[in-house]
Structure 1
């Protein structure tokens, strides 16, 4: 008795999820008024590369959606970032459509809505062997992360984090396809491009190269018909070189002045208070003991460390290598600094940057909360401090390992689980990078790690829904006599020659 074939809707759920996701993101970002994120003073280094300027009077208070051209005497102190690629496209489209200003952030919002739809549709497509409701649930989980107020405001801003967000999502989706054998070579190239985009967003993202490279270097993909030998290592090598090159491109561009600011903040805001004896900490760092009086004072505070007469003689000590050596010699202080970072992590969203434009009728520094699920949950666990953060990471790691072990190699479930491991790795290395390297604006600098940590449960949920075995290979149909499959013409010719 013949059994009817299982009914399938093909790619229809994926298309519908993508269209709905793009539409909802447009509503979320534009209705009733556009929302973005105010500049903190860093944005001019990015926008000046595009022939745009920022009005300093709106700094911290209001988001800006149209950036004018700078005056003839404006200076530009640019830095390397992959975010400039999207903003160059935006600047070109601004001119093409005759929009006001040098860069119109409404164009960026439209681009983000399209990218959101593409990402959500791809998530549903990767789960097309699962029930339609599973595709919808996983797609909805991804949307809740992408549209959360913690991350969505960066879309219309002068920060470089959007490149890291885009790269992370591209890598996470393509990585699943690589493992599960869905057009693996193309998917590998997309995963590599996404990883390189994220790593080169800004210098703080360089450490993301560690989990990315570990994933890419362990993939073995055939080139053409060669499935063994050196050919299987070629793509992996290309991926490692591309990501490593992107990291080097950004890291070698850092200017000594910005490194000095970050290190000085780490010393006065993180190390000195955590040491319990600021004067001794200053001495251990090679600074005058009197510098202990600057404990808790950042670079922009009144009477900062760099205003001291002794500053020129110790300025050369403001390097990451010097601080790293101090942490190695004082593991107790390093542990206390890491523990204190848990409070900034669970704060989840900086509270000093406005979301609305100056004409929206909102007070300065007002923040939108159209979708604030993630910070609400995080604030509910603020009491747990670093122990809660560590517990969350361990829970995600355990879930990913269990799901990976309970799936076959080359299965979609294995793909989602392995990528979830990478996402947790990204969250951990970003935490270490930020907490041990940036004393100021820690919560904002943690945002890419928070983004990766927020994506990890979505990938674990998708792994639960995904097939645990690879897609079965098609079987040759028997010939009309019911015997063995008919021989290929080439095989018959070979037999005749023999």
Structure 2
């Protein structure tokens, strides 16, 4: 059987590389128009962004008597002398001593260079960072077009679907923000390209797939702490393909090990890099996040919070702050010996042991976390006093627009939000609905396995579902606050699953319809070029 050529699937004499470059550049331009026309949009800071931006020694300079930081997007950052990640203040707010380590810092440095090239005001302009992100995403979509083994019209359809997902306000608006969610989105797009390369028939294509998947997987895993569990499905994908290693000195190794040696090296580098970057959180911050989980997520799911508090050796007064972080309590209570013993005794292992002893509590916690999945807009976490003096948690949305003198506080971007609006229809649903969101497209692609349209579709779908599930679990049990923002990658992965599954089913159904009509008309049926490859 002859090897199919990508050029055989293109609609003109232009090379596939030229067409891919056109698709990529067009995607980048459309994303820039989405971000900056008619005026810039982004995601406002929740006073947490400085833990990432401090790596450049910059801080946002707000004039006196300006509104709260979360009410508007500020894109100009100035360099401050003696401003480091361990010695900084933001107004009167003392920030955590441990900064965020993230691959997003690389994007910020690229934005710093572009700020100088474009002569934008300030030391770092987040609009320049937004341009860098659009170019990176456009390149990923162009590469996706190039590696797909579908006819031109279907490759365009899939790239347009991916572009439509990325352009949603809960994804692309992070490009102009002090957060690292956009790095997760960029990394996952390149991982998808790498997986499709890994599914290729040639050794050269699979080696390229290992390289792209390994580098982009490291970028993805180090973007946020919640992304680290995604290393497991990434490792499985890297170890799956057999790539012959023609090195004489390795002839003594087992054949199967030798064929997967390149993938094994990539997995080791991925794991070492991810743990080196993500393992910097100090014990005090880890204990605070675990305490947040107990009060914000666990206590509201039971009618008898006293039992949960006793299981964690926690002070009884925490029951008054069910559904709110413990730092809503007065300092005198937080400094008490009972509270200090409670936090020092917390760990991820202890939380796991609790659920092993109380398995019936797992589903209510997952239901509570899933509720944030259907409202993915990022929020700030605040404490507000209610009648009677009780402190409760409130979650105002982070604004998407800058302050131009006429914009109201906290205005949200609603111009293009297909994913946000679709999930909004499911608001209030629980874990059962979320499982259906994952299982329905998986079942659709599984049903087409005998007539696979896209080589590697099953591997891509499996990886995306694994990333969505692992990142959802990490976000559900990691902190308890800012959960909607932490679930952004899980939402993005789920949306991509539906995009790939829809195009796969459309191509298979179109092919079946054409063959049926050809049989009725007695027309010989040539084998489509993309069908000449064996399905993965």
* TM-score, normalised via structure 1 length: 0.86
Work out which of the residue numbers 431, 440, 450 in structure 1 matches 2:472: 431
Number of residues paired by the alignment? 463
1:209 has 2:231 as partner: yes
Contact 1:62/1:365, CA 8 A, preserved across alignment = yes
**Is residue 2:202 matched to residue 1:174?**
no
Equivalent residue for 2:400? 355
- Of residues 182-191 and 218-227 in structure 1, the stretch that sits farther from structure 2 once superposed is 218-227
- State the partner residue of 2:144: 123
Partner of 2:132: 111
- Residue 483 of structure 1 is matched in structure 2 by none
Deviations 1:419-452 (A, max 9, x none): 1110011111111111122211111111111111
Assess if the C-alpha contact under 8 Å between 2:57 and 2:83 holds in 1: no
What secondary structure is seen at the aligned counterpart in 2 of 1:354?
coil
In structure 2, relative to structure 1, the CA distance for the partners of 1:432 and 1:363 (3 Å cut) is same
Query: Could you tell me how far 1:233 is from its partner in structure 2?
Result: 1.5
For 1:306 and 1:406, the matched residues in 2 are separated by: 61
- Partner residue in 1 for 2:345: 317
- Structure 1 residues 252-401: aligned runs within 5 Å: 252-301=279-328, 303=330, 306=334, 308=336, 310-350=338-378, 352-359=397-404, 361-401=406-446
Q: Which runs of 5+ in 2 are unaligned?
A: 1-7, 89-96, 380-396, 509-529
Residue in structure 2 matched with residue 42 of structure 1 by the alignment: 48
* Residue 455, structure 1, aligned to residue 496, structure 2: yes
Structure 1 CA distance for aligned equivalents of residues 191 and 441 of structure 2:
18
Deviations 1:214-241 (A, max 9, x none): 1112121123589955431211101211
Change (3 A) 1:160 1:7: closer
Post-superposition Cα deviations, 1:161-204, rounded to whole Å, max 9, x if no partner, equal: 22211111100112101112362212210111111111011211
Q: 1:405 to 1:42 in 2, by over 3 A?
A: farther
1:88 equivalent among 97, 105, 109: 109
Q: Is 1:143 aligned with 2:184?
A: no
- The answer as to whether partners of 1:161 and 1:201 remain within 8 angstroms in 2 is yes
2:59 matched to which residue of 1?
Answer: 53
User: Structure 1's 404 and 255: CA in aligned 2 closer, same or farther, altered over 3 A?
Assistant: farther
Alpha-carbon deviations, 1:85-111, whole Å to 9, x = none? 111222233345543222111211211
CA–CA separation in structure 2 for the residues paired with 1:224 and 1:463: 36
Question: What's the offset of the Cα at 1:13?
Answer: 4.1
SS in 1 for 2:71: coil
The whole-number CA distance in structure 1 between the counterparts of 2:118 and 2:39 is 21
Quote the Cα distance in structure 2 between the aligned partners of 1:105 and 1:290.
43
Query: Does the alignment pair 1:193 with 2:215?
Result: yes
1:17 Cα deviation from its structure 2 partner: 2.3
Residue aligning to 2:77: 67
1:325/1:450 CA distance change after superposition, 3 Å: same
Cα distance change, pair 206–405 in 1 and its aligned pair in 2 (3 A): farther
1:343 Cα deviation from its structure 2 partner: 1.2
From the superposition, tell whether residues 225 and 395 of structure 1 become closer, same or farther in structure 2 (CA, over 3 Å). farther
**CA RMSD of superposed structures (Å):** 2.6
Deviations along 1:441-479, one digit per CA (max 9) or x if unpaired, are 11111111111111112222344449344289xxxxxxx
Q: Report Cα offsets for 1:21-69 as digits up to 9, x if no partner.
A: 1221111000011111111111111111102113476421111211111
Deviates more, 1:103-112 or 1:68-77: 68-77
Task: Tell me, yes or no, if structure 1 residue 248 matches structure 2 residue 268.
Answer: no
Unpaired runs of at least 5, structure 1: 473-498
Corresponding residue number in structure 1 for 2:511: none
Q: Matched residue of 1:53: which SS? A: strand
State the distance in 2 between where 1:401 and 1:240 align: 28
C-alpha spacing 1:7/1:302, structure 2 compared with 1 (3 Å): closer
Question: After the TM superposition, which of the residue ranges 189-198 and 392-401 deviates more from structure 2?
Answer: 392-401
1:218 pairs, out of 204, 228, 240, with: 240
Indicate the SS of the match to 1:109. Answer: helix
Task: Tell me, in whole angstroms, the C-alpha distance in 2 between the residues paired with 1:6 and 1:106.
Answer: 38
Counterpart among 474, 482, 504 of residue 441 in structure 1: 482
Q: Is the 8 A contact 1:83 1:201 kept in 2?
A: yes
Q: Measured at CA, do residues 62 and 97 of structure 1 come closer, stay the same or move farther in structure 2, by a change above 3 Å?
A: same
